[in-house]
Amino acid sequence: MTDCIAIRTYTWGPDEERLVAALTPVFGDRVRVAFHNRKAGVTPSVPVADFNDDWVRDNGLRVLADYGWRCGDYALYALRQAFPEFDHYWLIEPDVVIHGDVAEFFAEAAKLRADGIGVDFAQQAPKENRFVKGLPAKMVPYRATFALTRFSGRALDYLFEARKIYCKTAPGAHRFTNDETFCFSHLMAHRDFTAGGLKDHMPAWFDQGLFDTDPDLLDRSVETRLGSRNQVCHPVRPIDSFIDAVSKRVAGNASGFLKNMTPSFAEMSAEELTQLGTAVQQRITELAQTLKDEHKTETPQEALR
């Protein structure tokens, strides 16, 4: 049986090339890219399956404002369509790092026979979130984070047709079911398909709790914490990307209570707003330094928790 692996991305840069370098010794010429809205002139070093607004419409799927993030399964359908010769299709995001022996990880994963596998596969509560509420009535919801998944070709053929039907009858954009809930719930509802979790079958690769959607992990911090230990980590970022992600998160978390102060901000000058931003910056820097100093006093075992 042959597998390919595709990097799911909307840009091309050092993170994507890092993955190509890490994956090529294992997959050879079976490394691909599932590229969302690729700009003219962008030429990755490996073959590409493009998906954009036109591709989505032409294939009977629904264009949502955030489908590039919400509907990672679209990337898989485009991949299967462009390269139909494989038995299994891995999808990996640029901020996933397989720390340690990459070949060993995929050799272990190759022993798993489920049609759909993700890291943290689990059943969801019937009313857990808006994406669950968008499922067909009476379907039992399941999920697994879409940052690292593998699906069989026949599962993708089924899911592609099921997604097209869903797009015709699904609720509005708010409850339109996301990739992880749609794919794993539909596979578990079908008697001919199976699904499972990487974390359940390969626990040693995830036992440090470094694979999640939060918090962001600085790449050199991961190296220091893990040493030679095998571990799959997400989301891992180099310093520039890490600073950008953390600053966005801080601003996003603050936006709620800041909105309540809009009338006050309206009376402030540009210089006063800059003064406010500088004061916030100083306090965040002081807090980060305090946390850094506290971290230095931890034992190696505490630091790995």
pLDDT (tens digit per residue) in 9-26? 999 999 999 999 999 999
- Section 93-117 average pLDDT: 96
Cβ atoms of 32 and 110 closer than 8 Å? no
- Section 233-249 average pLDDT: 89
Q: What is the pLDDT of residues 127-169, one digit of tens each?
A: 888 999 999 988 999 999 999 999 999 999 999 999 999 999 9
Q: Which residue has the higher pLDDT, 292 or 25?
A: 25
The least confident of 26-35, 61-70, 172-181, 290-299 is: 290-299
pLDDT of 300 > 70? The answer is no
pLDDT of 115 > 70? The answer is yes
pLDDT for position 65: 95
Q: How far apart are CA 142 and CA 116, in angstroms?
A: 11
pLDDT for position 269: 93
Cβ atoms of 156 and 132 closer than 8 Å? no
Q: How far apart are CA 248 and CA 54, in angstroms?
A: 30
Q: What is the pLDDT of residues 23-77, one digit of tens each?
A: 999 999 999 999 999 999 999 999 999 999 999 999 999 999 999 999 999 999 9
Of the candidates 92, 144, 151, which has an alpha carbon nearest to the alpha carbon of residue 118?
144
In which band, very low, low, confident or very high, does the pLDDT at 302 lie, cut at 50, 70 and 90? Answer: low
Q: How far apart are CA 53 and CA 38, in angstroms?
A: 11
pLDDT for position 253: 83
pLDDT for position 297: 72
Q: Across-strand partners of 122? A: 143
Q: How far apart are CA 119 and CA 6, in angstroms?
A: 16
- Section 102-120 average pLDDT: 96
- pLDDT cut 70: percent of the chain above it: 97
pLDDT for position 114: 97
pLDDT for position 89: 98
Q: What is the pLDDT of residues 184-216, one digit of tens each?
A: 999 999 999 999 999 999 999 999 999 988 889
Q: What are phi and psi of 276, to 5 degrees?
A: -60, -45
pLDDT for position 137: 85
pLDDT of 303 > 80? The answer is no
Q: What is the pLDDT of residues 252-276, one digit of tens each?
A: 888 888 888 898 899 899 999 899 9
User: Is this prediction's pTM over 0.85?
Assistant: yes
- pLDDT cut 90: percent of the chain above it: 74
